Amino acid sequence: MSRDDKWINTKLKYILKIKNGGTPKSSVDNYWTPEEIVWITPEDLSLGENEINTSKRKISEDGLNNSSANLVKSNSIVLSTRAPIGNIKIVTTPYATNQGCKSLENNNNIDIRYFYYYFSIKKEYLNQLGRGTTFLELSNEALKNIEISVPPLKIQTYISNFLDQKTSEIDALIADKEKLITLLEEKRQAVITETVTKGLDPDVKMKDSGIAWIGEIPAHWEIKKVKYLFDSIGSGGTPKSDNLEYYNGEIPWINTGDLNDDYITENQSHITNKAVQDVKTLKLYPRGSLIVAMYGATIGKVGITNYQATTNQACCVLSEPNSVNEKFMYYWFISGRQDIINRSLGGGQPNISQSIIKQLRIPIPDVNEQNNIVAHINDISSNVQLTIEKVKQQISKVQQYRESLIYEAVTGKIDLRDYGEELELLVAERGEPYGN
């Protein structure tokens, strides 16, 4: 787009008013209300579309007036400026924010969508402007002095309308590909569940398993409790966090966050030999151990160790298998996850115990049939995963194209004057409003 259109090089502070946020005292009940003023936090910016009109929590007029929060006009931009920096939305209703956000308030001389698109691709740059030791934060001063090249309002609207259309098409394509990944994962899950509970022979004689969620199983399979399938079932512990001699050693120390429903090839934390010697609950488990998460949000997740490791107390470790293929059991725990979750105890933090896991009843064939089942699932799962990875690569390329398209448009490298004028004529013929 030609610079004859009088783009101006300026600083953000001369275009948009920046407003800070704040948090009313949580101890004052009448500062908080489920209905009054939308109160945006960084959490509200992590999900959803380009625009939002509500928030997880809301504040009252009293809360607004007795805090450093500011009321912001509708159709303004809200930007997270700490942990993380750079998440952005247009808010289509009057609102306030907490101190983790700043607002770029709309005015009649701009098309706010242009600035939304401009900053939507500037996350890396905004993070480079962040300062702080405990966490990075983008200051008012840094934000105000960002240099930006701005086209006339009419060109802003051309660019915004173009990007509204194109990004909508791209986002729909991405959504379709993400839906395909979900379907592929569901297919893999269905294959695992069907195979570890019914076997590979569709003509085999069946019998009732006595387990509600499984139903019938092959007649020649047995039902065994988990406690009889492994010679060692245990857990782990946590060394005292204030003892520096216990941490950053050579021994892997697996937590439930390391469980990835796959082989565990790396983990975040390591402890020392001294920790293993001093903490009686810690045990070094062999490679090939099956680990099941017992607590909280990760309950039921599994992993198989690719190396010797210890664990914390939230993990149940099944090792030294007895007439059972540990990969067959791994697949069984994946298929039975919901049943395990249903057995959990507790409210906000549901837990299961080693005792519950030991008492689980498993329909199981002989080892040769287990091996064949594992080989079949491995083959199907590998093909599905390969397809998923290809789709993810496609999504990544489309996302890169989306960002490149926005960059080219908001910097004037695509001439959109003809597009804008054609759209104006089309809208005029239909008698519909468009733009600001």
Position 420 scores a pLDDT of 62
Contact 237, 282 (CB under 8 A): yes
Q: Could you tell me which residues come within 8 angstroms of residue 242 by beta carbon, excluding any fewer than 6 positions away?
A: none
> What's the CA gap between 277 and 254, in Å, rounded?
17
Position 13 scores a pLDDT of 96
Q: Could you tell me which residues come within 8 angstroms of residue 170 by beta carbon, excluding any fewer than 6 positions away?
A: 398, 401, 402, 405
Position 1 scores a pLDDT of 46
Structure tokens at 85: 């920096």
Say what the pTM is.
0.82
Say whether 220 sits in a helix, a strand or coil: coil
Position 33 scores a pLDDT of 86
Domains in the chain, please, with CATH? 9-150 (3.90.220.20), 151-200+367-436 (1.10.287.1120), 222-364 (3.90.220.20)
Q: List per-block mean pLDDT (blocks of 10 residues) for the chain, which spans 436 residues.
A: 72 96 95 92 87 94 95 97 92 96 95 97 94 89 96 93 94 96 96 96 96 95 97 96 94 95 93 96 96 92 96 96 95 94 79 94 96 97 96 97 95 79 55 43
> What's the CA gap between 251 and 271, in Å, rounded?
5
Position 403 scores a pLDDT of 96
Q: Could you tell me which residues come within 8 angstroms of residue 432 by beta carbon, excluding any fewer than 6 positions away?
A: none
The DSSP annotation for 25-76 comes to: -TT-GGGEEEEEEEEE-GGGGSSSSSEE---SEEE-HHHHHTSS---B-SSE
Contact 91, 16 (CB under 8 A): no
Contact 314, 346 (CB under 8 A): no
C-alpha torsion sign, points 420, 425, 428, 430: negative
